[in-house]
Amino acid sequence: MRLKVCGMRNPDNIRELLGIAPDYMGFIFVEKSSRFVAEELDEELLKSFPHQVKKVGVFVNASQAYILDKVKKYALDYVQLHGEELPDFCRNLKFKGVNIIKAFSVDASFNFGKLQNYKPYCDFFLFDTKGELKGGNGITFDWSILKRYDNDKPFFLAGGIDLSNAHLALELKGLKVHAIDVNSKFEIEPALKDISKIGELIKILKPTEAILT
């Protein structure tokens, strides 16, 4: 099981997290978010990442120009679209060479059928809990809803995942869970992560690797 740690900003905290090598690290380019990177993000640090740790920029209804500027400036490997972006928007970004994770807020009434038009232009989907915020609500949705998904494209699983329930993600048999995405449950304060807790999470998700190290 792969791991994405989202909502990073502080340079020292980023370096600490690189030390335990999550598969993905997320940076939020949304001004309204308490985890907005603002001017704090270290451009050279991000460009020095080891290739095995993929950088993900998170955007909500941003312009294509804004997204492309950040992709170039920080050498982002993926763009996570967490708003109401339409398939044509994804298509246009994909044609520009951008790798796309399209996020959807899920509840009991979610219509998985609308994903069909996104599939040709997205590398992964991300399923998060529908809440007051676009993300970072810290609430888990009913994962049984995912049985309605056709499982055609691998996805990130987000929403309230912590040390007490992460193991349950490993038990979602028959679903293409590419990675779990954590954020608020592993924070000391917004955008500052508890590295030791994330290390414990990695032991749960990747017990074989933990034994080898």
Which among 160, 150, 167, 148 is positioned nearest to 206, based on CA atoms?
167
Say how far apart CA 202 and CA 55 lie, in whole Å: 18
Contact 25, 5 (CB under 8 A): yes
Q: Per-residue pLDDT averaged across 141-157, rounded?
A: 95
- The pair of three-digit structure tokens given for residue 208, joined into one six-digit string: 């074989």
- The pair of three-digit structure tokens given for residue 7, joined into one six-digit string: 């909502």
Number of structural domains the chain divides into: 1
Please list, residue by residue across 107-119, b when 16 or more beta carbons sit within 10 angstroms of its beta carbon and e when fewer do.
Answer: eeebebeebeebe
pLDDT tens per residue, range 172-184: 989 999 999 999 9
Q: pLDDT at position 209, please?
A: 65
- The pair of three-digit structure tokens given for residue 26, joined into one six-digit string: 């997320």
The neighbour count for residue 41, using CB atoms within 10 Å, is 21
- Does residue 111 surpass a pLDDT of 60? yes
Q: Concatenated DSSP letters for 107-154?
A: -TT--GGGGTTTGGG-SEEEEEE-SSSSS-------GGGGGGS---S-
Residue 191 belongs to a domain with what CATH number? 3.20.20.70
Domain boundaries, position 15: 2-212
pLDDT tens per residue, range 183-201: 999 999 999 999 999 999 9
- Does residue 119 surpass a pLDDT of 50? yes
- Does residue 153 surpass a pLDDT of 60? yes
Q: pLDDT at position 212, please?
A: 44
User: Integer distance in angstroms from the first to the last C-alpha of the chain?
Assistant: 17
Which among 189, 191, 183, 193 is positioned nearest to 161, based on CA atoms?
183
- The pair of three-digit structure tokens given for residue 51, joined into one six-digit string: 């290739």
SS3 for 184?
helix
Confidence of residue 133 (pLDDT cuts 50, 70, 90): low
pLDDT tens per residue, range 31-75: 999 999 998 999 999 999 999 999 999 999 999 999 999 999 999
Question: What is the residue-averaged pLDDT of the chain?
Answer: 93
- Does residue 210 surpass a pLDDT of 70? no
